[in-house]
Amino acid sequence: MLISDKYANRSRHLDLGYPITTVLGTKLYMDPNLFGVKIAVRDRDGHETVVSTADGKHKDYLQNQLPNNIREIALIVLQFRAEIGSEVKLHDMKEYERSIVEYFQKDFKSDLISVNVLTDSFITSEIVRSGLTLLPFLVIGFVIMATFSSVTFSISATALKQMNIHKITLAVMACVTPFMACGASLGGMFWANFRFGSILCVTPFLVLAIGVDDAYLMVNAWQRITTHRRKMPIDNVNAEVRRRITEMLVETGPSVSITTITNVLAFGIGALTPTPEIQLFSIGNALAVVVDFIFQLMGFNELHKARTTTSVILALESWGYAMFDVDLRKPTQASGLGFTSR
């Protein structure tokens, strides 16, 4: 400003212009640093007028730039870079950046200038903070999906005369399993030193949709098979349960597997992209889908391993269609399980 006042804006050593500023004979392009700029230009009649650089009608100012043509600036971006020596630790660098942010947020006061500081650590912390605001939506989404699944499972089971409390349990677990898969997969990623990104907050919603769809396929197949098999005589409950599970997997296995494979391949291709956020998002989703597939098979197909439990469930599935007495002792001590068709 002192030079500008002394030479009445005619100094060749300092030209505060836009888009080119000249300092001691060195030309500097100010496009990356100045935004919302209004400059002085000459119209066709030779009169000086102030226009916004965002106005595409005045592109000729690039060729006919007036000296010290800046009249107004809305935003100035200043970048400070420093070389970090080997003695400086990552924790120390983050603390230094955090102290700068806290100074301008708490101590710096000005009626003319509003300072916003952006650093890598500050941006990361803000992304995490904003990402955590999505947690209530996860709870709301889980409640809505669990309620919808319980109602639809109950309606289909009632229509097929197979309604029991276990249908509600299956409906809730159909929504719990995807969240368990997300917790296991994302937790494993963080344990393997993957960074957290707010985009990963979308993963539970995606896996929830895939997991509930797989659960619907398996439960509906089980009910259809039960409707067909309950008309036949049953000699051994455990063998019958294994047979029904086998038929269910034969019917739904290809659909569930193809869904998982296609999603994993799609996210695997996304993991090859050079954008870090897309890589993180794709890797997290691919792992979550694989873990959810494993959990679905384990959760909905483990009935044959708990023999006394499966006996009770099978008997409840046949309620109203078979008179039964269930011995809850161990299989080696059980006196038998009798059924009488009705």
Q: What is the pLDDT of residue 63?
A: 64
Decide if 81 is inside a domain: no
Q: Are strands 34-35 and 20-23 parallel, antiparallel or unpaired?
A: unpaired
- Name the percent of the chain lying above pLDDT 70: 81
Decide if 255 is inside a domain: yes
Residues 162, 288 share a domain: yes
Look up residue 113 and give its two tokens: 């200038």
Higher per-residue pLDDT: 216 or 335: 216
The DSSP secondary-structure symbol of 1 reads -
Could you write out the DSSP letters of every residue in 59-112?
GGGGTSPPTT-EEE-SEE------PPPTTS-HHHHHHHHHHHHHIIIII---SS
Q: Which of the residue ranges 61-75, 191-205, 245-259, 313-327 would you say has the lowest mean pLDDT?
A: 313-327
Residues 299, 229 share a domain: yes
The pLDDT mean for the chain works out to: 76
- Name the percent of the chain lying above pLDDT 90: 5
Q: Which of the residue ranges 25-39, 243-257, 303-317 would you say has the lowest mean pLDDT?
A: 303-317
Residues 260, 203 share a domain: yes
Q: What is the pLDDT of residue 57?
A: 62
Q: What is the pLDDT of residue 265?
A: 92
Decide if 262 is inside a domain: yes
Decide if 237 is inside a domain: yes
Higher per-residue pLDDT: 239 or 262: 262
Decide if 219 is inside a domain: yes
Mean pLDDT, residues 242-254 taken together: 81
Q: How confident is the model at residue 285 (pLDDT cuts 50, 70, 90)?
A: very high
**Direct distance between the N- and C-terminal alpha carbons of the chain, in angstroms, rounded to an integer:** 101
Higher per-residue pLDDT: 312 or 77: 77
Mean pLDDT, residues 194-212 taken together: 83
Rounded-to-5 percentages of helix, strand, coil across the chain:
60, 10, 30
Using the predicted structure, report yes or no on whether residue 111 has a pLDDT greater than 70.
Answer: yes
The DSSP secondary-structure symbol of 301 reads S
Please state the domain count of the chain: 3
Residues 149, 279 share a domain: yes
Q: Which of 38, 53, 76 is the last residue of a domain?
A: 76
Go through 212-233 and write b for each residue having 16 or more CB atoms within 10 A of its CB, e for each that does not. Answer: bebbbbbbbbbbebbeebbeee
Q: Which range of residues forms the domain containing residue 165?
A: 134-341
Residues 154, 285 share a domain: yes
Q: What is the pLDDT of residue 227?
A: 81
- What digits encode the pLDDT tens for the residues 217-241? 888 888 888 888 777 777 777 777 7
Residues 303, 213 share a domain: yes
Using the predicted structure, report yes or no on whether residue 306 has a pLDDT greater than 80.
Answer: no
Decide if 284 is inside a domain: yes
